[in-house]
Amino acid sequence: MAGISAQSFNGRLVIPSSGGKEQSEQPQGFPFADRGALLGDGLFETLPIWNNQPVWLDRHLERLIKAASSLGFSLGSSDLEAAIAPVLPFAKDSGGNAIVRLTVSRGSGGRGLLPPDPCQPNRLATLSPFPLAMAFADMAVATSSIRRNEGSPTSRLKSLGYLDNILATKEAAQACAEDALLLNNRGHICCTTICNIFAIFGNHIITPKLDDGVLNGIMRQKLLELLPQAGFTMEEASLTPKDIKKADGLFATNSLRVIRRIVKLDDQPYPAQAGDAIERCQDVMKHHLAEEFGIRFS
């Protein structure tokens, strides 16, 4: 489990930091009959810890609880907090900056697709170091041949079924890009494999609407709240590839990478200029993170 500093299962620490002398004899992951492992019947959230503080934990847990409810099983915030609590102290081993992933499955079940009733969800939390250089890094993006199904309920959830994203990422790598742009079945811009996307037209910023098969990212939510205070007008609307070719700039967001400038989409460059709209957006978020969490990015 390279890169993992600590891991807990259902609130019990099973892998201490690399400096630990003992490991628990408890299972170190989901049991063999777990529906998350066998069928992808589960969800996850990934969030950063900066200066030993989980960033926007309440928003991540709220989204996870709502997503589970939409799938027909219940999660409690206290159980989720207890699931990640054992791994949080190990963030200090990475200088106070780390990544937490909380994976939740519906639990174990017998053969067949119909879920057990009642179910007993399993909760796996892992902590790994956070390389600060990943935040605000420029990126190249390539349009994927794989389409996102905007009619699927899971298109707006962080579900465990990530094969489409994995295959799209492989396509992007073959095109010498860091991430893939996904269109939906109607040909509208949706997102990248791991990020929400924003297009800039002067001081007007558009991000695809949720109905296009978009996850309502935590960073997406924060920017819709914060950027109007910096003089930008924000809109959630459908975008086509033709639309974004006319954009002044593009950027992608998620909780770990914050705001990444897209410098190239397929064969089209988006040159950066000092003090441009993307730099201003990044400055807004850097100022906010410094104020709220005391983390400073250069």
Exposed / middle / buried, residue 22 (Cβ in 10 Å: 0-12, 13-18, 19+): exposed
Whether residue 47 contacts residue 63, with contact meaning beta carbons closer than 8 Å, is answered with: no
**Which pLDDT score, from 0 to 100, does residue 14 have?**
86
Whether residue 190 contacts residue 184, with contact meaning beta carbons closer than 8 Å, is answered with: yes
**Which pLDDT score, from 0 to 100, does residue 16 have?**
66
Q: Across the chain, how many H-helices and E-strands are there?
A: 7, 15
Q: Scan for tokens 């890169």, then name that residue.
A: 3
Within the chain, all domains assigned CATH 3.30.470.10 are found at: 6-130
CATH class, domain 139-293, is alpha beta
111 DSSP assignment:
S
Dist CA 233 CA 227 (whole Å): 8
**Which pLDDT score, from 0 to 100, does residue 272 have?**
93
Radius of gyration of the chain from its Cα atoms, rounded to whole angstroms: 20
Cα dihedral 147, 277, 284, 66 in deg (nearest 10) = -20
Angle at 8 between CA 77 and CA 106, to 5 degrees: 55
Dist CA 45 CA 29 (whole Å): 17
pLDDT in tens, 201-213: 999 999 999 999 9
**Which pLDDT score, from 0 to 100, does residue 156 have?**
95
pLDDT in tens, 82-123: 999 999 999 998 889 999 999 999 999 888 898 888 899 999
Whether residue 226 contacts residue 288, with contact meaning beta carbons closer than 8 Å, is answered with: yes
**Which pLDDT score, from 0 to 100, does residue 29 have?**
74
pLDDT in tens, 15-26: 764 444 444 444
**pTM of the predicted protein model:** 0.92
Residue 36's CB is within 10 A of a number of other CB atoms, namely: 22
Flag residues of the chain having pLDDT under 50.
1, 17-27
**Which pLDDT score, from 0 to 100, does residue 109 have?**
87
**Which pLDDT score, from 0 to 100, does residue 31 have?**
87
Within the chain, all domains assigned CATH 3.20.10.10 are found at: 139-293
What is the topology classification, in CATH, of domain 6-130? D-amino Acid Aminotransferase; Chain A, domain 1 (3.30.470)
**6: Cβ–Cβ under 8 A, 6 or more apart, which residues?**
13, 15, 16, 17, 86, 87, 90, 126, 127
pLDDT in tens, 27-46: 467 888 999 999 999 999 99
Q: CA nearest 293: which of 258, 248, 250, 251?
A: 258
